[in-house]
Amino acid sequence: MKALQVHLNFKMNTQVGYLMSLAVEYIQKGDLDDAERLLKRAHKMEPKNSEILRLLGVNFARKKDLQEALKMFERSIKIEPKNWLAYSNQGNVLRDLNKFDAALKSYDKAIALQPNYAEAFNNKGILLQSLNKLELALENYDKAIALDSKYAEAYNNAGNTLKKLNLLDLALIAFEKAMHFGGNNDLILGSYINCKMQLCDWAGIEGALEEVRHGQISRMDKFYPFYLLSICDDPFFIKEATQVYMGSEHPFKSELGEIPKSTRQEKIRLGYFSPDFRNHAVSFLTAGLIEAHDKNKFVLIAFSMGPNTTSDPMRERLQSSFDHFIDVSEKSDKEVAQLAREMGVDIAIDLGGLTQDARPSIFAYRAAPIQIGYIGYLGTMGSPYMDYIIADKVIIPVQFQYAYTENIIYLPSYQVNDPKRKIADKIFTREELGLPATGFVYCCFNNNYKITPAILDSWALIMRTVDDSVIFLHAENMTVRKNLLTEFAAREIQECRVIFAERLPRDEYLARYRVADLFLDTSPYNAGTTASDALWAGLPVMTFLGQTFSAKMGGSILNAIGLPELVASSQDEYEALAIDLGRHPNKILEIKNKLAENLLTMPLFDTKLFTQNLELAFIKAYKRFQDGLPPDHIY
């Protein structure tokens, strides 16, 4: 890490210089206790040495003791006001504390003092990216790369920013350069693989995908676990990788101390934490839940850590549904946890997990005596401070409980839904959607990164077997379309049989499902909100069961709507069933009629029933805590 470069006015043959040089080696190796010991020894010998204090600050920052790190940088700068490295390091800590304006000033000071310091531009870019000022972030990454053309981290950060801007082609170029200059860096490898998956560009990553699937990741502490969900179907490996990553990036933090057991309150205070209280898939599912909660038994508090979107009907709806709606986007993780404690939150429900803009370290500080993960992230958090995960017996069978560090809250069905989904009255014709007038229409509107080579093999086999069938896919990016057409062609499927859907307003997007005959799910990352959207619009969904949480979600949803006959037990059975239904449209008509009847009677869209079951689980978890009992599985 460049911020560890020793930038001093001393001769390296002095004892202090030797101690500092050795301390830097220890920090780079992760031996932080020995590094601290050496630096404190050097500090006693030269208490006015600005660089010793800076390195102590770096060491404390590595230990995640940000307040102590900040003190060291401030002392370092007081002794030497031109220590540009100290300003840059100070900016990093202020950024991690969500003190964004102060962090920006620190980076600008570092750049003013040392305009050729590439890392300060990179760090400033990271801050601007977190503030969703993506174009400005890119400008700073470009400046960092102009100063250091082999700066792998800056290329990687630029790639992630371009990905957020949906400029996937440019993002891939940036990731390829990061891979070229970064060497064996699993942080970059994860970003690179994910971008290739988003582009459905599988060339050159077959070996990497196999290695990841078989657990061959050299630096699990750097590989973002979310990327595993679409390529790995081993829940025990995902647990292992997530534990290592979380232990490194979001370890338990004890600064706030234990939460004392309070007297039992008349109402249980629920804190919902999410970066997605807006027009987002998580809110499309949970808005009805928030409205259905029993306000006589529960106080509902929203902790919003995402962007404050304007003219957003979903955000406005949610703001009016909670008793308290608090924007914590500019508070540090510690400050948010402290606020939750001060507000007496009994149960914290994390709707983000390890998805974009989520903040797991809030829960590392223990925001509430009971902490539960739900719906935003489809897997274990691998952390001792997350007490429960919500599932059902399809998603986590008893034999897979050990693949999760959390205790399981078993509900009759996993996924909550919003009964207020509006479907447009518009009746689409096949012609206006680019579909042929006749023939069976398979469809899948899942995110492109969920499509794997193996799934495309199945789709192509199904289409080759079912004459005149077509597949209707979601792909806005033209490179994704080109890549998918190339992959289908390699599997003997003509271009005219692959039709791409354009983006529509949400109510029309739902209405469009009625034109298709059968939704084909992906694996190991199933459809979630998309599957419920299709079913709500009357389109049957077909899936097959894998091993992981994300690979069993489709099965859970179909069981909850009373269509277990559409849940195959294997990929071969999935192919055979899709072929049979494609060859016998009368069977699909029968299933559609059954689905229409089940929409009003089965649990999947019974938000009131789901909420009652969830509230019973919350009450049981709360009672265990009040009785002095540790968390345990709740059935």
Q: What is the pTM of this model?
A: 0.90
| Domain termination site, one of 42, 72, 87 | 87
Q: What distance in Å separates the CA atoms of residue 307 and residue 131, rounded to the nearest whole number? A: 8
Kindly state whether residue 564 falls inside one of the protein's structural domains: yes
Closest to 316 in 3D by CA, of 273, 275, 278, 274: 278
283: pLDDT confidence band, cut at 50, 70 and 90?
very high
Whether residue 171 is predicted with pLDDT greater than 80 in this model: the reply is yes
Residues 523 and 404 in one domain: no
What's the distance, Cα to Cα, between the start and end of the chain in Å? 48
Q: CATH number, domain at 383?
A: 3.40.50.11380
Residues 494 and 511 in one domain: yes
Residue 10, pLDDT score: 45
- Confidence band, pLDDT 50/70/90 cuts, at residue 6: very low
Domain boundary at 58, 87, 116, which? 87
**114, part of any domain:** no
Predicted confidence band of residue 113 (pLDDT cuts 50, 70, 90) = very high
Quick check: bond before 524 cis, omega within 30? yes
Cα–Cα dist 573/554, whole Å: 15
Q: 252 and 362 in contact (C-beta within 8 Å)?
A: no
Distances (CA, A) of 336 to 257, 387, 598: 15, 19, 42
Pair (444, 574) in one structural domain: yes
Tokens 């909850």 correspond to 560
Average pLDDT over residues 83-111: 93
For residue 519, what are the contacts with CB-CB under 8 A and spacing of at least 6? Answer: 442, 443, 444, 445, 513, 527, 531, 534, 539, 540, 541, 542
Task: List the one residue out of 369, 376, 412 whose CA is nearest residue 392.
Answer: 412
The model's pLDDT over 351-394, given as tens digits with 9 standing for 90+, comes to: 999 998 899 999 999 999 999 999 999 999 999 999 999 999 99
Q: Which amino acid type is present at position 86?
A: A
Q: Is residue 574 part of a domain?
A: yes
**15-33 confidence digits (pLDDT tens):** 888 898 888 888 888 889 9
Q: Under a CB-based contact definition with an 8 Å cutoff, are residues 563 and 598 in contact?
A: yes
- Tell me the CATH number at 73: 1.25.40.10
| Domain ranges, residue 76 | 1-87
* One domain, residues 411 and 272: yes
User: For residue 181, is pLDDT > 70?
Assistant: yes
> Of 339, 430, 397, 361, which Cα lies nearest the Cα of 548?
397
* Residues 546 and 523 sit within 8 Å (Cβ to Cβ): yes
How confident is the model at residue 11, as a pLDDT? 46
Does the pLDDT at position 51 exceed 80? yes
In the predicted model, is pLDDT for residue 310 greater than 80? no
pLDDT for res 221: 82
Give the closest residue to 532 by CA, choosing from 486, 595, 591: 595
Q: Is the pLDDT of residue 422 over 70?
A: yes
Residue 9 included in any domain: yes
Judgement on whether residues 622 and 592 belong to the same structural domain of the protein: no
Rounded Cα distance, 186 and 234, in Å? 19
**Rounded alpha-carbon distances, angstroms, from residue 66 to 89, 97, 315, 339, 408:** 11, 8, 33, 18, 33
Q: Is residue 263 a part of any domain in this protein?
A: no
Which position has the higher pLDDT, 299 or 27?
Answer: 299
Question: Helix H segments across 165-205?
Answer: 168-182, 186-198
Indicate whether 455 pLDDT > 60.
Answer: yes
| Residue 97 forms part of a structural domain | no
**Count of domains for the chain:** 3
Same domain, 395 and 489: no
Inside any domain, residue 223: no
**CATH number where 524 lies:** 3.40.50.2000
pLDDT tens for each residue of 474-516: 998 999 999 999 999 999 999 999 999 999 999 999 999 999 9
Do 500 and 565 belong together in one domain? yes
In one-letter notation, the amino acid at residue 343 is: M
Per-residue pLDDT at 3 exceeds 80 = no
pLDDT at residue 165 greater than cutoff 80: yes
323 with 393, same domain: the answer is yes
Q: For 199-223, what is the mean pLDDT? A: 84
pLDDT in tens, 539-593: 999 999 999 999 999 999 999 999 999 999 999 999 999 999 999 999 999 999 9
- Of 405, 382, 380, 374, the C-alpha closest to 273 is 374
Query: Do residues 398 and 515 share a domain?
Result: no
Mean pLDDT of the chain: 93
Contact call for residues 360 and 250 (beta carbons, < 8 A): yes
pLDDT of residue 1: 45
pLDDT tier for residue 184 given thresholds of 50, 70 and 90: low
Are residues 443 and 584 both part of a single domain?
yes
Let me know whether 536 and 558 are in one domain. yes
* Same-domain check for residues 598 and 617: no
Q: Residue 168: inside a domain, yes or no?
A: no
Check whether 172 has a pLDDT greater than 90.
Answer: yes
* pLDDT at residue 9 tops 60: no
Q: How far is CA 193 from CA 171, 189, 228, 447, in A?
A: 12, 6, 10, 15
Phi then psi for 443, rounded to 5 degrees? -145, 155
Q: Which of 36, 64, 87 is the last residue of a domain?
A: 87
Task: Give the integer Cα–Cα distance in Å for 40 and 29.
Answer: 18
